[in-house]
Structure 1
Amino acid sequence: MKLVEPPSCSSPSTVVFIGRNHRGQWVAQQQNGLYGGLFVNRAQAIKYALFENGQHPETIIELPREIELDMGRKPDAAAPKRAA
């Protein structure tokens, strides 16, 4: 019998990062930069992330550091860079 991982585990492109930017606004950004937005509160950022990623809460990662919305990023730029 072949074991198959659920789509949320095998498709890293569905990961959505949420967190606050330097102005305190909430940001939701898909890992590869395909979609994202600014929100007034955490609940709205999560609601958006769930809508965009097909209702997979396990693929939403809340970042403890600042995250800036970057809609000019190319899709192959992947995840936000870590601070040194």
Structure 2
Amino acid sequence: MKLFEPPSCSAASAVVVIGRNRRGQWVAQEQNGLYGGLFVNRAQAVKYALFENGQHPEIIVELSREIELDMHRQTTSFRASRVA
């Protein structure tokens, strides 16, 4: 039996950015910080992004500048619900 994790986000409308961090690792992260990870090569970062966004390569953006994985970001709707 092979176990796998389902995609983190069912909506395929969120942009996933990929790029390298200052240590040369590849980063893939959803624009609102809902999911992301570090990868040893570009192919694995793209494969992860495609899996998570429902196989939509048109909403993957590769950055030329450095990008750091930020797992402490919160979505706008989550922040708004906690302010009240």
TM-score bin (small chain): 0.7 to 0.9
- Following superposition, the deviation at residue 37 of structure 1 comes to 0.1
Structure 2 residue identity aligned to 1:36? G
Secondary structure at 1:19's aligned position in 2?
strand
Q: 2: distance between equivalents of 1:70 and 1:16?
A: 13
- Following superposition, the deviation at residue 65 of structure 1 comes to 0.1
The aligned runs of 1:37-76 (5 Å cut-off) are 37-76=37-76
Aligned residues: 66
Structure 2 residue identity aligned to 1:18? I
Secondary structure at 2:22's aligned position in 1?
coil
Normalising to structure 2: TM-score of the pair?
Answer: 0.75
Structure 1 residue identity aligned to 2:22? H
For 1:33, the equivalent position in structure 2 comes to: 33
For structure 1, list consecutive stretches of 5 or more residues without a partner in the other structure: 1-6, 77-84
Normalising to structure 1: TM-score of the pair?
Answer: 0.75
- Following superposition, the deviation at residue 22 of structure 1 comes to 0.5
Q: 2: distance between equivalents of 1:16 and 1:28?
A: 7
* Identity rate, percent: 79
Q: Deviations over 1:52-76 (max 9, x none)?
A: 0000000000000000000011112
RMSD: 1.3
Q: Deviations over 1:3-57 (max 9, x none)?
A: xxxx86xx3xx21000000100000000000000000000000000000000000
